[in-house]
């Protein structure tokens, strides 16, 4: 990578790993690695939560005074430049005598940004944008909160090749195979909240936990959220989830309301950065109609279910408010991944005014 050595690039990957040790919540996960002038490891650190030392200071605290002079600091997020519960990390690095700083993602905050500039003004060599795509993926939920004021939302569904989410009798387990289902559970474990509607809850009785292929639970579990006015049965499996259930009517997903905060505002207040909307078609479509979706995961199985009785075709999605082809909801495909016999299409919604590829 231009501007970095192989050891520095490897140290950035290590910083990403260290960041994952920190809690998900209102603050970003950040990792830091300190390298000596010869590229050898001096210290590592990560942010352990609100009010605790930031990753750079955590790493510096593991060294005796003066040991970081002339060192290189490799950080997954631009060192901050403001005083909150802790002091500016840029100043801490300057005072420690660090000679070079590499970071992956620029800090988008109005108050906290500017650390790179402050470091340069103090004579520190600074290189930004190192493995930036990987760094942004690490904290995409937090970045969405900073940019849009709401959590990052992923909508997932599984469908047959002909676009059906269930057979005519409503059964849907399992359309996709074991490899695709394992991928879903891995992604669940990376989310802070998982959302389903009462229709899915009453039909499938999901546990809404993130499980490994052997059935054991991942250490990180998303908060279960059920939307709809129907009651949750006393024997519903979701009530055995390791985290308390949040049950809301789903009438206000993200807008302003005199009757209290929207779901997105409430989840943000609870420290949720990443929301995984798993079903069913009514809830997925509601998030898409509301313009609250940042990522779509469509798991497509090579199977055909056809139509059921009239009005009972069990589509993967319901109405999106598209009355004419000009109103179609365009997506930008990020990847198409084979998962066993199935395919996963990862895409993001385009703005309504985006031109269609090939239009004159």
> Positive or negative, the Cα torsion across 277, 345, 339, 164?
positive
Q: Which residues are annotated as a binding site for NADP(+)?
A: 158, 174, 200, 204, 280-286
pLDDT band, residue 356 (cuts 50/70/90): very low
Return the percentage of the chain with pLDDT > 70, whole number. Answer: 91
Which sequence spans correspond to the domains of the chain?
Answer: 6-138, 143-349
Q: Which residues are annotated as a binding site?
A: 54, 80, 89, 158, 172, 174, 188, 200, 204, 208, 211, 278, 280-286
Could you give the CA distance from residue 56 to residue 189 in angstroms, rounded to a whole number?
A: 27
pLDDT band, residue 228 (cuts 50/70/90): very high
Q: Greater confidence, 62 or 351?
A: 62
**CATH pick for 143-349 out of 3.40.50.720, 3.40.50.1360, 3.40.1210.10, 3.40.430.10:** 3.40.430.10
Give the phi and the psi of residue 331 in degrees, each rounded to 5: -125, 150
> Positive or negative, the Cα torsion across 24, 137, 56, 219?
positive
Q: Which residue is it, tokens 């999605």? A: 317
Enumerate long-range contacts of 59-63, CB under 8 Å, 24 or more apart. Answer: 59/32, 59/33, 59/34, 60/34, 60/92, 60/93, 60/96, 63/34
Q: Greater confidence, 226 or 306?
A: 226
Enter the pTM of the model.
Answer: 0.81
Could you give the CA distance from residue 276 to residue 290 in angstroms, rounded to a whole number?
A: 16
CB atoms within 10 A of CB 213: 11
Q: Mean pLDDT over residues 305-319, rounded?
A: 71
Give the phi and the psi of residue 224 in degrees, each rounded to 5: -80, 130
Could you give the CA distance from residue 181 to residue 186 in angstroms, rounded to a whole number?
A: 9
| Domain spanning 6-138, CATH architecture | 3-Layer(aba) Sandwich (3.40)
Active-site annotation, residues: 56
Q: Mean pLDDT over residues 76-94, rounded?
A: 85
Q: What is the pLDDT of residues 167-177, one digit of tens each?
A: 776 666 788 99
211 Cβ partners below 8 Å, 6+ apart? 185, 217, 218
């Amino acid at each position: 990578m231009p501007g970095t050595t192989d050891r520095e690039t490897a140290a950035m990957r290590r910083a990403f790993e260290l960041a994952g040790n920190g809690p998900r919540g209102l603050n970003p996960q950040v990792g830091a690695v300190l390298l000596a002038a010869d590229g050898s490891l001096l210290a590592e650190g990560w942010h352990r939560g609100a009010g605790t030392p930031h990753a750079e200071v955590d790493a510096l605290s593991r060294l005796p005074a003066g040991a970081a002079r002339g060192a290189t600091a490799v950080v997954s997020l631009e060192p901050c430049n403001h005083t909150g519960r802790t002091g500016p990390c840029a100043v801490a690095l300057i005072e420690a005598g660090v000679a070079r700083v590499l970071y992956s993602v620029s800090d988008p905050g109005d108050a906290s940004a500017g650390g790179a500039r402050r470091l340069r003004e103090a004579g520190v060599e600074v290189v930004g944008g190192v493995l930036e795509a990987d760094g942004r993926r690490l904290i995409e939920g937090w970045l969405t909160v900073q940019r849009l004021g709401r959590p990052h939302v992923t909508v997932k569904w599984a469908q047959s090749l002909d676009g059906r989410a269930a057979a005519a009798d409503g059964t849907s387990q399992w359309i996709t195979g074991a490899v695709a289902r394992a991928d879903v559970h891995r992604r669940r474990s990376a989310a802070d909240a998982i959302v389903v509607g009462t229709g899915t809850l009453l039909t499938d009785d999901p546990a809404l936990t993130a499980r490994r292929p052997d059935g054991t639970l991942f250490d990180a579990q998303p908060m279960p959220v059920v939307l709809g006015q129907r009651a949750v049965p006393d024997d519903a499996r979701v009530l055995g989830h390791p985290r308390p259930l949040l049950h809301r009517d789903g009438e206000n997903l993200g807008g302003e309301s005199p009757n209290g905060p929207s779901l997105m505002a409430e989840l943000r207040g609870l420290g949720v950065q990443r929301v995984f909307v798993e079903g069913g078609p009514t809830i997925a479509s509601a998030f898409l109609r509301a313009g609250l979706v940042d990522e779509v995961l469509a798991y497509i199985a090579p199977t055909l279910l056809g139509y059921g009785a009239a009005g009972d075709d069990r589509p993967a999605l319901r109405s999106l408010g598209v009355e004419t082809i000009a109103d179609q909801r365009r997506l930008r495909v990020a990847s198409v991944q084979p998962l066993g016999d199935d395919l996963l299409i990862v895409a993001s919604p385009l703005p309504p005014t985006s031109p269609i590829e090939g239009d004159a």
